[in-house]
Structure 1
């Protein structure tokens, strides 16, 4: 399939919401460590997900689970368009309080509740979401997802409070350090959690959909996105976010977002401006 011709527009505010339109191949195979909630607005949005090629038509909702491999492409010769928001599994887990992260195996739904939630989160791009507004919609999303799946059972052997301390510690280390973040080890996390270091990886993944290491990489990549959008050179971005060099940043960025840091920089424009993708 040919490379895409398209554009991406970011919504106002800090929450990662965006509108995009592509033809052809939009994204290479990659994995997010977040949920993606997307509302198809035009054309046919197609993607490989859990071993099958899925299709989403206008008015349908795409829900991608953390750490699931997927790509993105037009399902016909015509372009497809969608609006999307990334939802941190930490926010979902704050609602579930120790249950498994729920997921829809099909990745696509017409359920009126999901359509309503997606519409509310993605309707207005010219204003930021209010904090309480977003929190209530994330709560509705988590509960609706839990009600529509049968895998979200409570882990009786998982230490939710300990894993929450681990997660908060990682957030602080990467957010507070303005220079290259220090290396984080399992031994260090075990001291913070007062928990076996060999159980940390298992429990963290059960609650947040990814391992502590991949969560660290995600936090570094989210920081890299912000710095790239500010126009910093990619070499400086790589160093400031804890990557050994620019190629290290490039590899992880593409694995997580399906595009490269250079393309991301070219796509980022002030609100209301369009840019072509690669």
Structure 2
């Protein structure tokens, strides 16, 4: 291994604005196996970005686009002795579903694409890190992403309108509960969600996952983790982060954080210094 490459310090930088866009550089192993509850759209900018995904080791070269489906386990590592770098944005399945209006979430099988439409969308979303994305600009690009992803896949099963609006009602209820929650975790049950949507609780579990790519419970955890990540990046102590984001304690936060992001809260805090 080149000595200079072995000494490269891994780092993560956030783009300006509230939208989660990052630029990162890693040598060797970057992330342990984990799964997000969002889409990840990443543009490789340096080296070989490699990751295990759906039983195969995938590789992305500079200029290629990585698209990871919600709730699919993957890791991250350099594909050579040299470091790799990328820019990425997380896209909420809720935003994609607002475009699809009841179709199942599209799934790009291979996880890596050279499709010029995806490259153009990723480049526009990730080109300028020194300014926040304008709201209309971001919405336009998410519409383009959702439409392009649906065209590129065969997963376009349409659900009934009642199904879509029932699950939308469930999601909005969860959002409201998490928003107003204090530091004490609030227990949300499937029975409660079934009563709100007038579905059986097993229909809620099945259809929520079909439309939003994850279960109601995992969606709740994601909302708490999003809050935790923001608090970590603002420099709060991890004990306080766990309390303020609705986790029972720091170990509870760490377990879910690593499962979702492939690294621990402590490592993430150090990468963002």
TM-score, length-scaled by structure 1: 0.93
| Deviation, structure 1 residue 192 | 1.7
Q: Which runs of 5+ in 1 are unaligned?
A: 270-278
Q: 1:62-96: CA deviations, max 9, x gaps?
A: 00000000000000011111000000000000000
Matched, 1:189 2:193: yes
Q: Which residue of 2 aligns with 1:149?
A: 153
What residue is the counterpart of 2:208 in the other structure?
204
Moved over 3 A (4+): 2-5
User: Whole-Å Cα distance in 1 between the matches of residues 37 and 217 of structure 2?
Assistant: 11
| TM superposition shift of 1:227 | 1.4
Q: What is aligned with 1:23? A: 27
In structure 2, relative to structure 1, the CA distance for the partners of 1:130 and 1:178 (3 Å cut) is: farther
> What secondary structure sits across from 1:195 in the alignment?
coil
SS state of the match for residue 51, structure 2? Answer: strand
Contact 2:36–2:72 (CA under 8 A) maintained in structure 1: yes
1:227-260 C-alpha deviation (Å, 9 max, x unpaired): 1122222112212222111111101000000000
Q: How many residues are matched? A: 269
Q: If the length of structure 2 is used for normalisation, what is the TM-score?
A: 0.95
- The answer for the alignment partner of 1:276 in structure 2 is none
On the 8 A contact 1:181/1:240 being kept in 2, the answer is no
Q: Which moved more, 1:3-12 or 1:182-191?
A: 3-12
C-alpha deviation, 1:5, in angstroms? 3.9
Structure 2: gaps of 5 or more residues: 1-5
How do 1:224-263 and structure 2 match up within 5 A? 224-263=228-267
Distance apart, 1:178 and its partner CA: 4.0
Aligned CA-pair RMSD: 1.7
DSSP-derived class of the 1:159 partner? helix
Higher RCO structure (Cα 8 Å, ≥6 apart): 1
Structure 1 residues 155 and 77, CA gap change in structure 2 (3 angstroms) = same
Distance 2:26 2:94 in 1: 30
Q: Please give the alpha-carbon distance, in whole angstroms, between the structure 1 residues aligned to 2:235 and 2:49.
A: 31
- Shift of residue 158, structure 1, vs aligned partner: 6.9
